Amino acid sequence: MNGAQRFLAACSCRPVDRTPVWMMRQAGRYLPEYRAVRELVDFLTLCKTPELAAEVSLQPIRRFGMDACIVFCDILIPVEAMGATLAFTDTGPAIAQPVRSQAAVDELRIPDPQTDMPFVAQTLRNLRAALKEETALVGFCGAPFTLAAYLVEGGGSKSFATIKTLMYREPATLHALLAKLADTMAAYAGAQIDAGAQAMQVFDTWAGELAPDAFERFALPYQKIVIDRIRAGGVPAILFVNGCAGVLELMVQTKADVLSIDWRIGLDAARKRVGNGFALQGNVDPTVLLSTPQAVRDSAHDAMRAAGSLGHILNLGHGILPPTPIECASAFVDAPKATPVTA
Protein backbone atom coordinates (compact mmCIF):
# COMPACT_ATOMS: atom_id res chain seq x y z
CA MET A 1 0.00 0.00 0.00
CA ASN A 2 1.17 3.56 -0.56
CA GLY A 3 0.70 6.26 2.08
CA ALA A 4 -2.54 7.63 0.62
CA GLN A 5 -4.14 4.18 0.35
CA ARG A 6 -3.04 3.27 3.88
CA PHE A 7 -4.30 6.53 5.39
CA LEU A 8 -7.66 6.44 3.58
CA ALA A 9 -8.17 2.75 4.41
CA ALA A 10 -7.61 3.50 8.11
CA CYS A 11 -10.09 6.41 7.95
CA SER A 12 -12.81 3.96 6.95
CA CYS A 13 -11.62 1.13 9.26
CA ARG A 14 -10.52 -1.08 6.36
CA PRO A 15 -7.43 -3.36 6.74
CA VAL A 16 -3.93 -1.84 6.33
CA ASP A 17 -0.41 -3.29 5.93
CA ARG A 18 0.74 -1.09 8.84
CA THR A 19 -0.64 1.78 10.90
CA PRO A 20 -0.52 5.10 8.98
CA VAL A 21 1.14 8.07 10.70
CA TRP A 22 1.31 11.88 10.53
CA MET A 23 1.66 14.65 13.14
CA MET A 24 -0.53 17.65 13.87
CA ARG A 25 1.50 20.84 13.16
CA GLN A 26 4.08 18.70 11.35
CA ALA A 27 5.09 21.76 9.28
CA GLY A 28 6.51 24.23 11.76
CA ARG A 29 9.19 25.72 13.89
CA TYR A 30 10.86 22.49 15.10
CA LEU A 31 12.20 22.15 11.51
CA PRO A 32 15.30 24.23 10.59
CA GLU A 33 14.11 24.37 6.97
CA TYR A 34 10.80 25.91 8.14
CA ARG A 35 12.64 28.49 10.23
CA ALA A 36 14.75 29.36 7.19
CA VAL A 37 11.60 30.17 5.15
CA ARG A 38 10.19 32.17 8.09
CA GLU A 39 13.30 34.35 8.09
CA LEU A 40 12.26 35.52 4.63
CA VAL A 41 8.50 36.08 5.20
CA ASP A 42 6.08 36.66 8.06
CA PHE A 43 3.60 33.96 9.01
CA LEU A 44 0.50 35.41 7.27
CA THR A 45 2.41 36.02 4.03
CA LEU A 46 3.61 32.42 4.20
CA CYS A 47 0.00 31.19 4.54
CA LYS A 48 -1.06 33.33 1.54
CA THR A 49 1.77 32.47 -0.88
CA PRO A 50 0.94 29.10 -2.52
CA GLU A 51 4.50 28.25 -3.63
CA LEU A 52 5.87 28.84 -0.11
CA ALA A 53 2.90 27.28 1.72
CA ALA A 54 3.21 24.15 -0.45
CA GLU A 55 6.98 24.07 0.13
CA VAL A 56 6.66 24.11 3.95
CA SER A 57 3.83 21.52 3.80
CA LEU A 58 6.21 19.20 1.93
CA GLN A 59 9.25 19.74 4.18
CA PRO A 60 8.24 17.18 6.84
CA ILE A 61 7.15 14.67 4.16
CA ARG A 62 10.58 14.82 2.49
CA ARG A 63 12.40 14.48 5.79
CA PHE A 64 10.27 11.83 7.52
CA GLY A 65 7.89 10.26 4.97
CA MET A 66 4.54 10.58 6.74
CA ASP A 67 1.50 8.92 5.13
CA ALA A 68 -0.47 12.20 5.07
CA CYS A 69 0.45 15.78 4.24
CA ILE A 70 -1.63 18.57 5.83
CA VAL A 71 -1.90 21.79 3.86
CA PHE A 72 -0.05 24.67 5.51
CA CYS A 73 -2.35 27.53 6.52
CA ASP A 74 -4.03 28.65 9.76
CA ILE A 75 -7.53 28.15 11.13
CA LEU A 76 -7.92 31.93 11.45
CA ILE A 77 -7.36 32.77 7.74
CA PRO A 78 -11.11 32.55 6.86
CA VAL A 79 -11.94 34.65 9.92
CA GLU A 80 -9.82 37.42 8.43
CA ALA A 81 -11.73 36.97 5.15
CA MET A 82 -14.96 37.51 7.15
CA GLY A 83 -13.72 40.99 8.04
CA ALA A 84 -11.79 40.53 11.30
CA THR A 85 -8.38 42.21 11.62
CA LEU A 86 -5.88 39.47 12.38
CA ALA A 87 -2.25 39.71 13.50
CA PHE A 88 0.25 37.12 14.77
CA THR A 89 2.41 38.30 17.66
CA ASP A 90 4.98 36.51 19.83
CA THR A 91 2.16 35.47 22.14
CA GLY A 92 -0.03 34.03 19.35
CA PRO A 93 -2.96 35.31 17.29
CA ALA A 94 -4.64 38.67 18.04
CA ILE A 95 -7.97 40.00 16.73
CA ALA A 96 -7.97 43.82 16.76
CA GLN A 97 -11.68 44.39 17.44
CA PRO A 98 -13.17 41.44 19.32
CA VAL A 99 -16.73 40.43 18.37
CA ARG A 100 -18.92 40.81 21.47
CA SER A 101 -22.29 42.15 20.28
CA GLN A 102 -25.02 41.34 17.76
CA ALA A 103 -24.00 44.46 15.80
CA ALA A 104 -20.42 43.15 15.55
CA VAL A 105 -21.72 39.75 14.39
CA ASP A 106 -23.88 41.46 11.74
CA GLU A 107 -20.82 43.22 10.34
CA LEU A 108 -19.02 39.94 9.58
CA ARG A 109 -19.51 38.71 6.05
CA ILE A 110 -19.63 35.17 4.66
CA PRO A 111 -16.66 35.12 2.29
CA ASP A 112 -16.47 33.36 -1.06
CA PRO A 113 -13.50 30.96 -0.85
CA GLN A 114 -12.80 31.25 -4.61
CA THR A 115 -12.44 35.02 -4.63
CA ASP A 116 -11.54 35.89 -1.02
CA MET A 117 -9.04 33.06 -0.24
CA PRO A 118 -7.94 31.70 -3.64
CA PHE A 119 -4.43 30.97 -2.31
CA VAL A 120 -5.69 28.03 -0.19
CA ALA A 121 -7.11 26.13 -3.19
CA GLN A 122 -3.98 26.96 -5.18
CA THR A 123 -1.73 25.56 -2.41
CA LEU A 124 -3.83 22.37 -2.39
CA ARG A 125 -3.59 22.01 -6.18
CA ASN A 126 0.19 22.50 -6.04
CA LEU A 127 0.40 19.86 -3.31
CA ARG A 128 -1.70 17.28 -5.15
CA ALA A 129 0.59 17.67 -8.17
CA ALA A 130 3.73 17.34 -6.03
CA LEU A 131 2.52 14.41 -3.91
CA LYS A 132 1.19 12.40 -6.87
CA GLU A 133 -0.74 9.47 -5.39
CA GLU A 134 1.90 8.55 -2.79
CA THR A 135 0.81 10.63 0.20
CA ALA A 136 -2.72 11.61 1.26
CA LEU A 137 -3.50 15.32 1.14
CA VAL A 138 -5.39 16.57 4.20
CA GLY A 139 -7.22 19.91 4.24
CA PHE A 140 -8.51 21.50 7.44
CA CYS A 141 -10.64 24.19 8.99
CA GLY A 142 -11.47 25.41 12.47
CA ALA A 143 -14.81 24.45 14.02
CA PRO A 144 -17.22 27.29 14.77
CA PHE A 145 -16.83 27.24 18.57
CA THR A 146 -13.03 27.43 18.51
CA LEU A 147 -13.08 30.20 15.89
CA ALA A 148 -15.70 32.07 17.93
CA ALA A 149 -13.45 31.75 20.98
CA TYR A 150 -10.66 33.66 19.16
CA LEU A 151 -13.11 36.25 17.78
CA VAL A 152 -14.81 36.92 21.13
CA GLU A 153 -11.73 36.71 23.37
CA GLY A 154 -9.65 38.73 20.87
CA GLY A 155 -6.92 36.07 20.94
CA GLY A 156 -5.95 33.01 22.96
CA SER A 157 -7.22 32.54 26.51
CA LYS A 158 -6.68 30.39 29.58
CA SER A 159 -10.14 30.60 31.15
CA PHE A 160 -12.34 31.50 28.12
CA ALA A 161 -14.25 33.71 30.54
CA THR A 162 -15.30 36.26 27.90
CA ILE A 163 -16.89 33.80 25.45
CA LYS A 164 -18.45 31.81 28.28
CA THR A 165 -19.96 34.97 29.76
CA LEU A 166 -21.46 35.82 26.36
CA MET A 167 -22.70 32.23 26.06
CA TYR A 168 -24.59 32.33 29.37
CA ARG A 169 -25.67 35.99 29.25
CA GLU A 170 -26.53 36.45 25.56
CA PRO A 171 -26.85 32.99 23.96
CA ALA A 172 -28.69 34.29 20.86
CA THR A 173 -25.70 36.49 19.94
CA LEU A 174 -23.29 33.59 20.20
CA HIS A 175 -25.63 31.33 18.20
CA ALA A 176 -25.76 33.98 15.44
CA LEU A 177 -21.95 34.11 15.35
CA LEU A 178 -21.64 30.31 15.34
CA ALA A 179 -24.19 29.99 12.50
CA LYS A 180 -22.24 32.47 10.36
CA LEU A 181 -18.98 30.65 11.08
CA ALA A 182 -20.58 27.29 10.22
CA ASP A 183 -21.78 28.57 6.82
CA THR A 184 -18.32 30.02 6.14
CA MET A 185 -16.52 26.79 7.12
CA ALA A 186 -18.90 24.57 5.15
CA ALA A 187 -18.19 26.54 1.96
CA TYR A 188 -14.46 26.70 2.77
CA ALA A 189 -14.31 22.93 3.34
CA GLY A 190 -16.16 22.37 0.05
CA ALA A 191 -13.64 24.53 -1.81
CA GLN A 192 -10.73 22.54 -0.31
CA ILE A 193 -12.30 19.26 -1.40
CA ASP A 194 -12.82 20.66 -4.92
CA ALA A 195 -9.12 21.63 -4.95
CA GLY A 196 -7.99 18.10 -4.11
CA ALA A 197 -8.15 17.56 -0.32
CA GLN A 198 -8.62 13.80 0.22
CA ALA A 199 -9.71 14.18 3.87
CA MET A 200 -10.65 17.17 6.02
CA GLN A 201 -9.73 17.70 9.67
CA VAL A 202 -11.99 19.95 11.72
CA PHE A 203 -10.15 21.52 14.69
CA ASP A 204 -12.40 22.22 17.68
CA THR A 205 -9.37 22.65 19.89
CA TRP A 206 -11.11 24.60 22.67
CA ALA A 207 -14.52 22.89 22.76
CA GLY A 208 -13.13 20.55 25.44
CA GLU A 209 -13.25 23.58 27.78
CA LEU A 210 -17.06 23.43 27.72
CA ALA A 211 -19.35 21.63 30.15
CA PRO A 212 -20.99 18.70 28.31
CA ASP A 213 -24.41 20.41 28.13
CA ALA A 214 -22.81 23.56 26.72
CA PHE A 215 -20.83 21.44 24.23
CA GLU A 216 -24.11 19.88 23.13
CA ARG A 217 -25.70 23.28 22.49
CA PHE A 218 -22.81 25.47 21.28
CA ALA A 219 -20.25 23.12 19.71
CA LEU A 220 -21.96 19.95 18.43
CA PRO A 221 -24.69 21.41 16.13
CA TYR A 222 -22.14 23.59 14.32
CA GLN A 223 -19.55 20.80 14.04
CA LYS A 224 -22.33 18.78 12.41
CA ILE A 225 -23.01 21.42 9.73
CA VAL A 226 -19.34 21.43 8.69
CA ILE A 227 -18.94 17.63 8.91
CA ASP A 228 -22.14 17.00 6.89
CA ARG A 229 -20.71 19.21 4.12
CA ILE A 230 -17.38 17.33 4.17
CA ARG A 231 -19.09 13.93 3.96
CA ALA A 232 -21.34 15.20 1.17
CA GLY A 233 -18.11 16.08 -0.67
CA GLY A 234 -17.17 12.39 -0.54
CA VAL A 235 -14.10 12.58 1.72
CA PRO A 236 -13.62 11.46 5.34
CA ALA A 237 -14.06 14.01 8.14
CA ILE A 238 -11.67 13.97 11.13
CA LEU A 239 -12.84 15.75 14.29
CA PHE A 240 -10.27 16.95 16.84
CA VAL A 241 -11.26 18.21 20.29
CA ASN A 242 -8.46 18.81 22.80
CA GLY A 243 -9.63 17.39 26.13
CA CYS A 244 -12.31 15.18 24.54
CA ALA A 245 -12.75 12.61 27.36
CA GLY A 246 -15.84 14.31 28.79
CA VAL A 247 -17.62 14.63 25.43
CA LEU A 248 -16.69 11.53 23.39
CA GLU A 249 -20.27 10.22 23.16
CA LEU A 250 -21.37 13.64 21.87
CA MET A 251 -18.58 13.69 19.26
CA VAL A 252 -19.91 10.36 17.97
CA GLN A 253 -23.18 12.13 17.12
CA THR A 254 -21.39 14.27 14.50
CA LYS A 255 -20.82 11.08 12.44
CA ALA A 256 -17.24 12.20 11.78
CA ASP A 257 -15.38 9.25 10.20
CA VAL A 258 -12.35 9.73 12.45
CA LEU A 259 -12.21 10.99 16.04
CA SER A 260 -8.86 12.58 16.95
CA ILE A 261 -8.12 11.86 20.61
CA ASP A 262 -5.81 13.71 23.02
CA TRP A 263 -3.56 11.92 25.54
CA ARG A 264 -5.73 12.37 28.62
CA ILE A 265 -7.66 9.18 27.79
CA GLY A 266 -6.31 5.82 26.53
CA LEU A 267 -7.28 4.73 23.01
CA ASP A 268 -8.57 1.42 24.44
CA ALA A 269 -10.90 3.30 26.82
CA ALA A 270 -11.97 5.65 24.00
CA ARG A 271 -12.68 2.65 21.72
CA LYS A 272 -14.92 1.05 24.35
CA ARG A 273 -16.95 4.24 24.57
CA VAL A 274 -17.34 5.05 20.85
CA GLY A 275 -17.79 1.48 19.51
CA ASN A 276 -16.46 0.13 16.23
CA GLY A 277 -18.03 2.49 13.68
CA PHE A 278 -15.28 5.12 13.91
CA ALA A 279 -11.56 5.32 13.27
CA LEU A 280 -9.43 6.82 16.04
CA GLN A 281 -6.47 9.15 15.54
CA GLY A 282 -3.83 9.92 18.14
CA ASN A 283 -2.84 10.12 20.85
CA VAL A 284 0.77 10.46 22.06
CA ASP A 285 1.41 13.37 24.43
CA PRO A 286 3.52 15.86 22.40
CA THR A 287 5.79 16.42 25.40
CA VAL A 288 7.02 12.80 25.07
CA LEU A 289 8.79 14.03 21.92
CA LEU A 290 10.85 16.40 24.08
CA SER A 291 12.56 13.38 25.72
CA THR A 292 14.36 10.50 23.98
CA PRO A 293 13.79 8.51 20.77
CA GLN A 294 13.36 5.33 22.86
CA ALA A 295 10.63 6.92 25.00
CA VAL A 296 8.95 8.11 21.80
CA ARG A 297 9.04 4.61 20.27
CA ASP A 298 7.63 3.13 23.49
CA SER A 299 4.76 5.64 23.60
CA ALA A 300 3.97 5.16 19.90
CA HIS A 301 3.85 1.39 20.36
CA ASP A 302 1.67 1.76 23.47
CA ALA A 303 -0.78 3.88 21.44
CA MET A 304 -0.81 1.34 18.58
CA ARG A 305 -1.38 -1.54 21.00
CA ALA A 306 -4.18 0.32 22.80
CA ALA A 307 -5.87 1.21 19.50
CA GLY A 308 -5.66 -2.23 17.86
CA SER A 309 -4.93 -2.64 14.17
CA LEU A 310 -8.23 -1.63 12.54
CA GLY A 311 -9.15 2.02 12.17
CA HIS A 312 -6.15 3.70 13.80
CA ILE A 313 -4.08 6.62 12.52
CA LEU A 314 -1.03 7.22 14.69
CA ASN A 315 -0.71 10.92 15.57
CA LEU A 316 0.01 13.17 18.54
CA GLY A 317 -2.70 14.22 20.98
CA HIS A 318 -2.13 17.87 19.94
CA GLY A 319 0.41 19.77 17.82
CA ILE A 320 4.13 19.03 17.88
CA LEU A 321 5.99 21.52 20.11
CA PRO A 322 8.62 23.91 18.68
CA PRO A 323 11.51 22.63 20.91
CA THR A 324 11.05 19.01 19.69
CA PRO A 325 14.40 17.44 18.63
CA ILE A 326 14.43 16.16 15.03
CA GLU A 327 15.48 12.66 16.14
CA CYS A 328 12.35 12.37 18.30
CA ALA A 329 10.04 13.43 15.44
CA SER A 330 11.85 10.89 13.27
CA ALA A 331 11.46 8.10 15.86
CA PHE A 332 7.73 8.81 16.02
CA VAL A 333 7.14 8.58 12.26
CA ASP A 334 9.35 5.47 11.99
CA ALA A 335 7.65 3.60 14.86
CA PRO A 336 4.80 2.04 12.81
CA LYS A 337 7.11 1.32 9.87
CA ALA A 338 8.97 -1.23 11.99
CA THR A 339 5.69 -2.76 13.16
CA PRO A 340 3.48 -4.57 10.63
CA VAL A 341 0.01 -5.07 12.07
CA THR A 342 -0.60 -8.53 13.50
CA ALA A 343 -4.07 -8.94 14.96
Is 74 part of the annotated catalytic residue set? yes
| Cα–Cα distance for residue pair 313/303, rounded to 1 Å | 10
Binding string to ligand CP3 for residues 166 to 205, with x set by CB under 6 A, is what? Answer: -------------------------------------x-x
The nearer residue to ligand CP3, 25 or 100, going by C-beta atoms, is: 25
**Under rule CB under 6 A, how many of the chain's residues touch ligand CP3?**
21
- Residue with CB nearest ligand CP3? 205
Tell me if 156 contacts ligand CP3 by CB under 6 A.
Answer: yes
Alpha-helical regions (H) of the chain: 3-11, 32-40, 43-48, 50-64, 77-81, 102-107, 113-116, 118-131, 144-153, 161-169, 171-194, 212-214, 220-232, 248-252, 267-274, 293-307, 326-334
Is 116 part of the annotated catalytic residue set? no
DSSP 261: E
Tell me if 32 contacts ligand CP3 by CB under 6 A.
Answer: no
Question: Which pairing describes strands 92-95 and 86-89: parallel, antiparallel, or unpaired?
Answer: antiparallel
**Interface pick for ligand CP3 out of 75, 187, 200, 220 (rule CB under 6 A):** 75
| Cα–Cα distance for residue pair 77/117, rounded to 1 Å | 8
At residue 86, the 3 state secondary structure works out as strand
Q: Which one of the spans 13-21, 24-32, 178-186, 227-235 is the region binding ligand CP3 (CB under 6 A)? A: 24-32
Which backbone phi and psi does 53 adopt, to 5 degrees? -65, -40
Strand partners, 281: 260, 313
Tell me if 25 contacts ligand CP3 by CB under 6 A.
Answer: yes
Is 125 part of the annotated catalytic residue set? no
Contacts to ligand CP3 from residues 214-243, by CB under 6 A = none
| Cα–Cα distance for residue pair 177/4, rounded to 1 Å | 36
Question: Which of 24, 52, 25, 30 lies closest to 40, judged by CA?
Answer: 52
**Interface pick for ligand CP3 out of 3, 20, 93, 190 (rule CB under 6 A):** 93
| Cα–Cα distance for residue pair 199/11, rounded to 1 Å | 9
Contacts to ligand CP3 from residues 282-321, by CB under 6 A = 319
The nearer residue to ligand CP3, 24 or 250, going by C-beta atoms, is: 24
Set 30, 34, 150, 188: catalytic member:
150
Catalytic residues: 25, 29, 38, 74, 150
Site for ligand CP3, rule CB under 6 A: 24-29, 38, 43, 70, 72, 74-76, 88, 92-93, 140, 156, 203, 205, 319
